[in-house]
Structures are given as structure tokens and as C-alpha cells.
Structure 1
Amino acid sequence: MKRFLPLAIRLAVLVLLIVFITEPNVFAPVFKPLTENNAPPIYNQGSLLTLTLLHLRVVLTATVAATIVAVGLAILVTRPSGREFLPLSRSLVNVGQTFPPVAVLALAVPAVGFGQKPTLIALFLYGLLPIFENALTALTTLPNAVMEAARGSGMTNFQRLLRVELPLAFPVILAGIRLSVVIGLATATIGSTVAAKTLGEVIIAGLLSNNIAFVLQGGLIVGALAVLIYDALSGLERLAARRMAPKEEAG
């Protein structure tokens, strides 16, 4: 029963989200009290479904790029030949956390123009740190017994990396990706300030027209996406950890 209730709530949130972004006018009576001077209760300057999909696309693209770079750097600095690059790698991945996303956007626009590109750059830089640190932690805390068994079996360094190290490190790396995605979902909203097509358009339209209903709609969609994706990645992380546990014990 304890597991059923959270699952039922998650399913309810998912269904409500799908209905809202596909048929938002159904919820007009809910948001009408939040409007003034006969303002529209539902965002009417574009498709909520399209904006949601574009929002997810930019976050996914940035997260994939950040994952490739961050995990690649973590692998590099955990090899004997690459350990000297650890301070430099840490400095690189900390850039996104040092500069606010708004500052990154302001610096990126003159170089790449308005639209999705500056938003991708900001999300990419902002997502590097959690993935890198988790990957680094995972790759440097692998069970010694398992690693010795892999060496004893005659595996090459590359084979150990692909068959042993990365599979064992995957749950911890996934935790970093989960954090990066949630950060990206929230941060992507500011991309609309540089003409990127994201759910930030809904929030900005509400602020410019003093329409609280629009602001709430944009915030609720982003919040629901963050909760659902966080929960889904957490479940995948737990599943991966359970699947890796027997291997660790066997080693």
C-alpha cells in the first residue's frame, strides 16, 4: 500500500500534465480567478505542447553533451597517465558553477547569436560539475576485490573499463546525471530571455502582462517535469544499483 500510493500520485501527475499541455483550455476555469481585466486564463501565444517538447529537447541535448565530456574527463584523470590533469579538469567543470547562467547567456549571445545555442552552452556548462564529480567518485571507489579479479582474469585496461568499471560506476554516474537534468530543467527557462523556445516564454509573458495565471502555468509544467524525471531516474538508479550488487558480492 505504501508503494501504491506514491505510484498512484505519480501517475496522476503524469496524466494531468499530459492533459494540460495537450488540452489546456480544459483548465481555464481553474486559472480564471488568477486573471484581471478579462485577461486570458490560459497561455495563448503559442502551443504549450510544442514549448514543452522544445524545452525537453534543449535539456536533453545539453545533458548528453555534458555527460560525454564529464565522464570522459573523469575516465582520463583516473588513469595513471591522466592524473596530473585532475586540477585542470576540476577548474574546467567548475566554470559553469562560477558564472551565473544569465552571465553565460550574455557572453554567449555575441559569439553565437540569439536562440537555442546560447541556452545550450549555459546548460552544458552548468551540468558538467555534478556529473564529473559523481563519475570521479564512482571510478575511484570501486571495490578492490573486483578490480583485482578483473586484472587476474587477463582483461586489458580498456576491457576492464568497459566491462567492469563503467558498469559498476553507472548508478553513481546516473545520480549525477539526475541532478544535472533537474538543474537544467529549471535553468532552461531563462533561455527565453535570449529568444530560445522554452517554457520560459510562458513565464515571461505572464510577467510582462502581469498575468499570474501564465506564470503559474509555466512554473507548474517545469515543476511537474522535474519531479517526474527525477523520480524516473531515481528508479533507474536503484534498479542499476540492485543489478550491480550481486556482482560486487561475487567479486
Structure 2
Amino acid sequence: MKVLRTSLFWLLALFITLLAALPYSEALWAWLFPELDRPLYQQDSFASLALAHLGLVGVSSLLAAAMGISAGVAVTRPAGREFRPLAETLAAVGQTFPPVAVLAVAVPVLGFGQAPALIALVLYGLLPVLQGTLAGMAAVPAGVREVANGVGMSAWQRLWKVELPLAAPVILAGVRTSVIINIGTAAIASTVGVRSLGTPVIIGLSGFNTAWVIQGALTVALMAIVVDRAFERLQKCFTRHAE
């Protein structure tokens, strides 16, 4: 745990240092890409783009988690079991449908901005949460449920006090996967006018500026690693409490 904590600290420090140092690194990028007139992206600060990116991922991930966990719990109850195949199919379709295609359909209806981006990210991040919830609920030992019934717990008490706490580590693993997917996928939100770390990537691709693409991709990748390590630490805490 101490090694994990230290690793997370240094990764976070590296990410913050990168965001702070990028505006002053024009000489480095000019040396790496001498053929480019403007090798450093300076239209927005990388720190503000990172905050916007995190905000977009945070909102979409919260919505995906709320929908995925709710649906996963609902279809494991006796009254909802017959809807499980439908829920899994809809979630699978949501992830297999390309986010770019979702944006192309949503933009004419909702216009440019965060709304179509959120829809695409929620649909794309829903399946891992649903699968994690189903796997977590299935992993709760039948004997534990029988004991809960034996002490007189109601169905809701058994769910909140027994099943969900025991399933939490596996559910969190699904949320972790969903969030990491959305960090990378959120970069395409810049194609519909949303500020994110994908902005230098999209502009760089359209302007054949490889340096800008690398700068945006590097910050997105490092953000994903930091968030993944944070979830790893959180998951270990949940696992320890569930044991």
C-alpha cells in the first residue's frame, strides 16, 4: 500500500509538472519539430484544458455509474431478472456504437456543445459498469444471503447492508474501467466544440501539426494513468473493508 501511495503521488506530481511546464517548452518542441512554424499549442492553457477534460469525464462517468449500477441491481432482483438480457444487450449496443457516430446523430438535434458529447460518453461507458455490477452481485455468497434472511433482514436491508458492500470491489472495478475509457474517448468531444485535452489533438490533426497531437495525447495518457492508480488504491480500500 505504501508503494502504491508513493507511486500515485509521484505520478500526480509528474502530471501537474507537465501541465505547468508545457507553456515554457517551446524551445524543446521547436528542436524536435524544426519544420513547424508553431510547434507549441498556445491557444489555451493545458491546465484549463485538463480541468475541462476532467469535468466532462466526471459528469459522464457519474451518469454512467448511476445508470449502470441501478440497472445492474434492478435486474438481479426477482422482479427484474427477466429484463437482464435486454439490459445487457442495450448496454452492449451503446458501447459498440462508435462515439463519433453518436455525435453525428446527436449534433443536428442538440447542437454543438457538451450535450451530445455527454450522451456519447455515457453510452460508451455504461457497459463496464453494468457488467461489473452483475459480476459483483453474483459473487456474493449464497450463504451470506441466507444468514441475512435468517436474522430477519428485509430485502432492502440485505441489499444495502450485505450485498452491495460485498459487491463493491467488483462494482468499483467496472466503474474504473468505464472512467479510463471515457478519459481517452472524451478527446473526440472537441470535434463538437467542447474544450478538452483533445482540442490540440483535433486541431493538430486538421493542421498536420504532429507536435500539437503529441502534446494533447501525452497529457491525456498521463491523466488516465494517474486516475487508474487512484482507482487502484480506492479499490484496495474497498476490498480490505469487504473482507
Which of the five TM-score ranges fits, normalised by the shorter chain? over 0.9
Q: CA–CA distance in 2 between the matches of 1:122 and 1:210?
A: 26
- 1:214 CA drift (Å): 1.1
1:167 aligns with 2:168: no
Q: CA–CA distance in 2 between the matches of 1:239 and 1:69?
A: 24
1:96 is matched with which residue?
A: 94
1:136 is matched with which residue?
A: 134
Moved more, 136-145 or 71-80: 136-145
Q: CA–CA distance in 2 between the matches of 1:235 and 1:133?
A: 21
After superposition, the C-alpha distances for 1:50-77 in whole angstroms (9 at most, x for unaligned) are 1111111111111111111111111111
Aligned counterpart in structure 2 of residue 176 of structure 1, from 174, 180, 186: 174
1:51 is matched with which residue?
A: 49
Aligned counterpart in structure 1 of residue 186 of structure 2, from 182, 185, 188: 188
Moved more, 14-23 or 155-164: 14-23
2:210 is matched with which residue?
A: 212
CA contact (8 A) 1:178 1:233 kept: yes
From the superposition, tell whether residues 221 and 92 of structure 1 become closer, same or farther in structure 2 (CA, over 3 Å). Answer: same
Q: Report the TM-score when normalising by structure 2.
A: 0.93
CA contact (8 A) 2:36 2:209 kept: no
1:40 counterpart SS class: coil
1:154 aligns with 2:142: no
CA contact (8 A) 2:129 2:174 kept: yes
Moved more, 112-121 or 24-33: 24-33
% identical aligned pairs? 43
1:232 is matched with which residue?
A: 230
1:58 counterpart SS class: helix
Which residue identity is paired with 1:72? S
Structure 1: gaps (5+ residues): 246-251
1:75 is matched with which residue?
A: 73
**CA-based RMSD:** 1.8
2:25 counterpart SS class: helix
- 1:28 CA drift (Å): 2.9
1:62 is matched with which residue?
A: 60
2:107 is matched with which residue?
A: 109
CA contact (8 A) 1:115 1:197 kept: no
- 1:7 CA drift (Å): 5.5
CA contact (8 A) 2:23 2:45 kept: no
Q: Report the TM-score when normalising by structure 1.
A: 0.91
From the superposition, tell whether residues 212 and 65 of structure 1 become closer, same or farther in structure 2 (CA, over 3 Å). Answer: same
- 1:235 CA drift (Å): 1.4
- 1:37 CA drift (Å): 4.4
From the superposition, tell whether residues 10 and 26 of structure 1 become closer, same or farther in structure 2 (CA, over 3 Å). Answer: farther
Q: CA–CA distance in 2 between the matches of 1:211 and 1:32?
A: 12
CA contact (8 A) 1:55 1:188 kept: yes
- 1:141 CA drift (Å): 2.1
Q: CA–CA distance in 2 between the matches of 1:186 and 1:212?
A: 18
Which residue identity is paired with 2:43? Q
2:240 counterpart SS class: helix
Structure 2: gaps (5+ residues): none
1:33 is matched with which residue?
A: 31
Q: CA–CA distance in 2 between the matches of 1:82 and 1:10?
A: 40
Aligned counterpart in structure 2 of residue 201 of structure 1, from 188, 199, 202: 199
